[in-house]
Amino acid sequence: MMKRMHIHIAVNNMADSIGFYSTIFDLKPTVEREDYAKWEVTEPAVNFAISNRGHASGINHLGIQVESESELKETADRLQKAEITSSAQQGASCCYAHSNKHWAMDPQGVAWESFHTLSESPVFGEDTQSHNADESSACCIPLSQSDSDDEDVACCLPNENDATHCCA
C-alpha cells in the first residue's frame, strides 16, 4: 500500500494553471474538468488538485490519501488521541469523487483531509450543493471557520465550536 500527499490549490485561471502544473509534473491531469484538475503523480507521490470554485487563490487544503479503510481509521485514531478537533465524513461526494474522510485543522488554521477514495463522481460536490446555495462554492470542508454571518465566506473550516456541519 502507498500513502500519497494531497495538495489542493485554488487558482484564478484553470487553463494557465493546468499548463503550468502539467509542465512541472511532466504529466497531463488524470482528471480534468472546466473547474477542476487533478494529477496522481508517482514520483514524488502526490495527489495534486486545483480548482476555481469560489476561493481566493492559494492553498485550499492539504492531506493524505490512503488506500484502505484501515489506514483511514489509523489517522482518525491518532487525531482522537491527540484531542484535535476533527470531523468524519462517510461516502462524501466532493471534487468529482466519493470518499470516506477525516478532517482536522493545524495550529495555523490550514485544513487537513485524510481520505480513502471509493469511486468517481460526475459532479464536483453533491455535498457542497446540499449545504450551500452557491453552486460555485468549493466548500468540501465540513467544519466551521467562524460564527460569521458573512455570506462571502466561500468555505467552512474547523473550529472548537462545530466540527460536524458546514457553516453555510
pLDDT in tens, 110-137: 888 888 888 676 566 654 443 443 333 3
Ordered domains of the chain (ranges, CATH): 4-119 (3.10.180.10)
In the numeric block, which cell numbers belong to residue 51? 480548482
Average pLDDT, the chain: 75
Distance in angstroms (rounded) separating the CA atoms of residues 92 and 126: 8
Q: What is the pLDDT of residue 103?
A: 87
Evaluate if residue 16 carries a pLDDT over 60: yes
Per the model's pLDDT, the better-predicted residue between 154 and 122 turns out to be: 122
Distance in angstroms (rounded) separating the CA atoms of residues 97 and 51: 14
How many CA atoms does the CB half-sphere of 120 hold within 13 Å?
6
Residues with Cβ within 8 Å of residue 8, at least 6 apart in sequence: 48, 49, 50, 51, 59, 60, 61, 62, 63, 95
